[in-house]
């Protein structure tokens, strides 16, 4: 059974989104715009501050990665808010997650 971190490597993320979306997501992480609200091995939900605060969510269902974002731009591929959420999970990119 797949876990969410299986989807969040560089090659897979570059296959999922166009390069400009990848760069926008990386910039959001660098600027500290990501706040993870929930995370386990099959689900991650965050808030990403852009011009507004958007809720981004990934979850694994079977072997499929599903996503949604309140920005409304995540139809064909993950948006920059989702990409920022995924990149946040990489070692060295994010502060320790506190699930309190």
pTM for this predicted structure: 0.88
* 69 in a structural domain: yes
Position 94 pLDDT exceeds 90: no
Sorting pLDDT into bands at 50, 70 and 90, what band is 20?
Answer: very high
The pLDDT of residue 6 is 87
Position 62 pLDDT exceeds 70: yes
What is the C-alpha separation between 9 and 37, in angstroms, rounded? 21
What is the mean pLDDT of the segment spanning 46-74? 95
Sorting pLDDT into bands at 50, 70 and 90, what band is 91?
Answer: low
Coil, helix or strand at residue 66 = strand
The pLDDT of residue 96 is 46
* 99 in a structural domain: no
* 96 in a structural domain: no
Position 38 pLDDT exceeds 60: yes
DSSP type of residue 42: T
**Domains of the chain: total:** 1
* 93 in a structural domain: no
β-pairing verdict for 34-40 and 43-49: antiparallel
* Torsion region of 36: left, alpha or beta (phi above 0 gives left; psi -120 to 50 gives alpha): beta
* 25 in a structural domain: yes
Provide the CB-side half-sphere exposure for 41 (13 A, CA): 5
* 39 in a structural domain: yes
Which residue segment(s) compose the domain that 58 sits in? Answer: 4-88
* 55 in a structural domain: yes
What is the rounded average pLDDT for all residues in the chain?
89
* 15 in a structural domain: yes
The pLDDT of residue 93 is 54
């Amino acid at each position: 059974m797949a876990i969410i971190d299986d989807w969040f490597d560089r090659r897979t993320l570059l296959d999922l989104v166009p390069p400009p979306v990848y760069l926008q997501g990386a910039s959001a992480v660098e600027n500290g715009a990501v706040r993870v609200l929930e995370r386990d091995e099959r689900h991650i939900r965050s808030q990403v501050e852009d011009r507004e605060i958007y809720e981004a969510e990934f979850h694994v269902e079977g072997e499929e990665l599903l996503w949604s974002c309140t920005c409304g731009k995540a139809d064909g591929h993950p948006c920059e808010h989702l990409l920022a959420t995924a990149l946040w999970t990489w070692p060295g990119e994010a502060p320790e997650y506190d699930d309190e």
